[in-house]
Amino acid sequence: MNDDILKYSSDKQDILTGASLPADEEPEIKSLRPEYLADYVGQVEVVETLKIAIEAAIKRDEPIDHVLFHGPPGLGKTTLAHIIANEMGSNLTVTSGPALEKGGDLIGILTNLEDGNILFIDEIHRMPKVVEEFLYPAMEDFAVDFVFDKGIHARSHRYRLKRFAVIGSTTRVGLLSAPLRDRFGIFRSFDFYSENDLVKITKRSAALLNVPIDNKGSVELSRRSRGTPRIANRLLKRVRDYTQVRSDGKITENTVEAALRLEGVDEKGLTDLDRRYMKTIIEFYNGGPVGIEAIAATLLEETDTLVDVVEPYLLKIGMIIRTSSGRKASEKAYRHLGFTNK
């Protein structure tokens, strides 16, 4: 398979460094991924749906129906795409919406797919409209239409594709066009993980990294992981480094607190950017309501970063309120930052 077919790009925000990284493809993150559904923790309803769909597809000897996952970054959408390919015994081709700049990019990938292969498109909502239109007949009829020449000499040719499945992943499902969204047979939403599930994930990851961790340390780390496995794994590695250098090598509640204090991650898992976001609403805009563009301009951050990375968890834990006239800081935010709500 050509290297140019396996292009992958992602601009998900790094919770610790603030850098833009293809986080799902980092070697150590990949090594911590479960490979089969039996090892996957959390998202119970999603997993049950996939078990049924995979078993039915295998019995019929055909590809799984097209699948669309949506939810905040880091909750396991990419991991499940790899698991589906493993469970189906299929080859997985990985790309992303921004990487498909022209129709020819997508056609090159589609024509190289074999029977039963899976095409995973991350950030599918960022795929250009002209590329998206090539995907419609490919998903529905397993064919692509070429137009030769122009004007009165124009003629169309339909090229038949092998039967394949598309798995799409998006953090902004509202930006998907209705025709594309309707072509997915399985449509599942991901939610933040419970603390109990994150404890299981951190213990599993610690075992894979060969670092001992006690129960209190695992609970404290999970509490600070924003309900997100990817962040739990990142923080685990930072705590591991701290423990091996400043302690006896075993992760405990105290070493988690000390290590994450250095990283600027507080007891609720909030980072410096989260706290600056809330302080901006409270100090500059009297607690809101205020538009997201104004907050982004004040913080000198991209609007997409705030909407995709910062806001989902703050909304989940009730630190901010989104209204028709803008964002407001809640009473919880005032108390957490030590402000008095006037």
- Over residues 266-323, the pLDDT tens digits come to 888 898 999 999 999 998 888 889 999 999 999 998 988 888 888 888 998 899 999 8
Taken in order 68, 73, 76, 79, the sign of the CA dihedral is: positive
Q: What is the pTM of this model?
A: 0.79
- Residue 284 belongs to a domain: yes
- Kindly state whether residue 158 falls inside one of the protein's structural domains: yes
User: Are 30 and 174 members of one domain?
Assistant: yes
Quote the CA–CA distance of 84 and 167 in Å, as a whole number: 9
- CA distances (Å), 195 to each of 12, 105, 202, 229, 318, in order? 23, 41, 10, 10, 17
Residue 342 forms part of a structural domain:
no
Active site residues: 77-78, 122, 171, 230
308 in a structural domain: yes
Same domain, 216 and 167: no
> pLDDT at residue 69 above 90?
yes
* Number of separate domains in the chain: 3
Q: Please report the pLDDT score of residue 129 as a whole number.
A: 87
**Same domain for 152 and 252?**
no
Report the CATH number that the domain containing residue 83 is assigned in CATH.
Answer: 3.40.50.300
pLDDT of 176: 86
- Average of per-residue pLDDT across 234-243: 91
Q: Is residue 232 part of a domain?
A: yes
| Domain extent at residue 256 | 195-263
My answer on whether 203 and 176 are in the same domain is: no
Verify that 14 and 161 share a domain, yes or no: yes
Q: What is the mean pLDDT of residues 215-230?
A: 91
Tens of pLDDT along 38-52? 889 888 899 999 999
